[in-house]
Amino acid sequence: MNSGHQHRVFGRRAQEHILILASGDKVRHMTVRPWMAALAFCVVGVFSIGYLLATSYLVLRDDLIGATMARQARMQHDYEDRIAALRAQVDRITSRQLLDQQVVEDKVDKLMEQQMALTSRHGKLDNLLDRAESSGLTEKDGALPASSSPVQSYAPDLKDKRASLTGGGIQAIEKQLASGAPADATPDNSTLAYVPAAETVGDRADRIFSNVTLSLKDLEQDQRNRVEQLTSDAGNAANAIGTVLTRFKIPVPEETAARQDDDAVGGPYVEPESNDDFNNSLVELDGALTRLEAVRSTAESLPFRNPAIGKDVTSPFGNRRDPFLGRLALHSGIDFRFSPGEKIHPSAPGKVISAGWTGGYGNMVEVDHGNGISTRYGHMSQVLVKVGDTVGRNDVIGLAGSTGRSTGTHLHYEVRQDGHAVDPVYFMNAGLKLATYIK
């Protein structure tokens, strides 16, 4: 009863498999246990799988090797293509850099030529500016400013010849090219805006050279304007002086009058170096200054100044009652009150043609100023020059006194034109108008 109950609870026990082997009279048997069957099945399965794999490998080995080699070949080709692309990119970059460098060098050479041209112009202007300054037209330091434009950021002051000749401006440009984009070109990340692409060397070179070229053109235009202004001023001054000289019937030098050294010049005819407006303006300025210097030199040699500045006039030019005879007589000059022994200076430079006792003039000196104009200085107590001396405005020709027909110490000043006495006041008034043009 217990056994039946056990079978109902745990199930029926499986029967073991028995393998019987008979060979003749011999009979052997062996019990096949489950685990042995499982093991045998596994061994057979593994062997079968191995056999299949080995067979597949032997059959497909050539295809696998070919596929591997093909893959390696494709990879090699890919790497070679990539290397070739990188080399091409490097070549393009190198070529672009060479082109940029060539462009920069060409532009630097062009700027050097422009800068040297401006330097050469300054050399030509130096002499003209010196002449303009001596003529009282302008001060040299303020005549032609070098630059007030952004060119100062890239090139040296063009007035400094040493900087321009040593290429200081080009070195500054090269520093700008090497420094990259300016600091103020950095975009503001605080706002959403379009950010331009990074500036290349070529673009930066174009920007810098454009600024420099524009600045040089502005400077050139400013130079031309100032030269034209100087030419106009010189012409106006020459016309003003010429008008006064014409009023006194004094020959006015022609506009084409040559300078003192123009009587010993010559040479073969050669075409001019260039025919640009600036050189033409320099030629015009040279002609205007030559004419101004000629008329100015003529005016400065004439008695347009007062020989007794600050002195009282005791007797003017014209008819008066003679102090000795008491009857009407022509007073041929102007009398200035002087103290005894005061120094007397001529009213203009010239050559002494008379010096010593001269009748009613007493001790008198006469100075020839050219163009038929002479001046006389009478009643001096002592004459300090002799005939033939060349005197200037600051030279002392004698000392004031009361010699000859004189009632007291004074200077008798007389102006004579073509041998006839004229009123010195006319010359003095003209001198006031010419004060800004003559020294």
399 in any annotated domain = yes
**Whole-number pLDDT of residue 400:** 96
Q: Is the pLDDT of residue 95 over 60?
A: yes
For residues 383 and 356, the answer to whether their CB atoms sit within 8 Å is yes
85 sits in the region (left: phi over 0; alpha: psi -120 to 50; else beta) called: alpha
Q: Is 32 helix (H, G, I), strand (E, B) or coil?
A: strand
Taking the C-alpha atoms of residue 376 and residue 412, their distance in angstroms, rounded to an integer, is 8
For residues 157 and 147, the answer to whether their CB atoms sit within 8 Å is yes
7 in any annotated domain = no
334 in any annotated domain = yes
CA distances from 330 to 146, 416, 426 (A): 61, 14, 17
Taking the C-alpha atoms of residue 179 and residue 205, their distance in angstroms, rounded to an integer, is 11
Q: Is the pLDDT of residue 181 over 90?
A: no
Report the range of poorest mean pLDDT among 11-20, 73-82, 281-290, 348-357: 11-20
112 in any annotated domain = no
| Over residues 372-387, mean pLDDT | 96
For residues 134 and 143, the answer to whether their CB atoms sit within 8 Å is no
Q: Is the pLDDT of residue 186 over 80?
A: no
**Whole-number pLDDT of residue 428:** 93
| Over residues 129-148, mean pLDDT | 61
- Could you give the number of structural domains in the chain? 1
Report angle CA 279, 281, 286 to the nearest 5 degrees: 95
136 in any annotated domain = no
pTM to 2 decimal places: 0.58
Which is more confidently placed, 240 or 266? 240
Report angle CA 118, 121, 126 to the nearest 5 degrees: 130
Report the range of poorest mean pLDDT among 13-17, 25-29, 225-229: 13-17
Rg of the Cα trace of the chain?
57
Phi, psi (5° rounding) for residue 106? -65, -45
Among the ranges 186-200, 240-254, 387-401, which has the highest mean pLDDT value? Answer: 387-401
Q: Binning pLDDT at 50, 70 and 90, where does residue 141 land? A: very low
Domain interval for residue 367: 313-433
207 in any annotated domain = no
Taking the C-alpha atoms of residue 356 and residue 384, their distance in angstroms, rounded to an integer, is 9
| Over residues 289-294, mean pLDDT | 89
Strands, E, within 13-76: which ranges? Answer: 17-23, 26-32
Which is more confidently placed, 404 or 147? 404
Q: Binning pLDDT at 50, 70 and 90, where does residue 173 land? A: low
Residue-wise pLDDT tens digits, 248-291: 888 887 644 444 455 666 778 776 665 567 778 888 888 888 89
403 in any annotated domain = yes
Phi, psi (5° rounding) for residue 350? 175, -165
Q: What is the mean pLDDT of the chain?
A: 78
**Whole-number pLDDT of residue 160:** 43
Helix, strand, coil shares of the chain, percent, nearest 5, are: 50, 15, 30
DSSP state of 187: -
For residues 294 and 251, the answer to whether their CB atoms sit within 8 Å is no
Taking the C-alpha atoms of residue 279 and residue 117, their distance in angstroms, rounded to an integer, is 11
Taking the C-alpha atoms of residue 89 and residue 324, their distance in angstroms, rounded to an integer, is 114
Residue-wise pLDDT tens digits, 45-58: 898 898 888 887 77
Report the range of poorest mean pLDDT among 154-158, 371-375, 406-410: 154-158
Taking the C-alpha atoms of residue 435 and residue 304, their distance in angstroms, rounded to an integer, is 9
Q: Of 177, 183, 179, 174, whose CA–CA distance to 201 is shortest?
A: 177
296 in any annotated domain = no
Q: Is the pLDDT of residue 184 over 50?
A: no
**Whole-number pLDDT of residue 196:** 57
Q: Is the pLDDT of residue 145 over 60?
A: no
Report the range of poorest mean pLDDT among 128-132, 152-156, 268-272: 152-156
CATH of the domain at 425: 2.70.70.10
Q: Of 153, 152, 162, 170, whose CA–CA distance to 114 is shortest?
A: 170
Q: Is the pLDDT of residue 217 over 70?
A: yes
Q: What percent of the chain has pLDDT over 70?
A: 77
Taking the C-alpha atoms of residue 46 and residue 2, their distance in angstroms, rounded to an integer, is 46
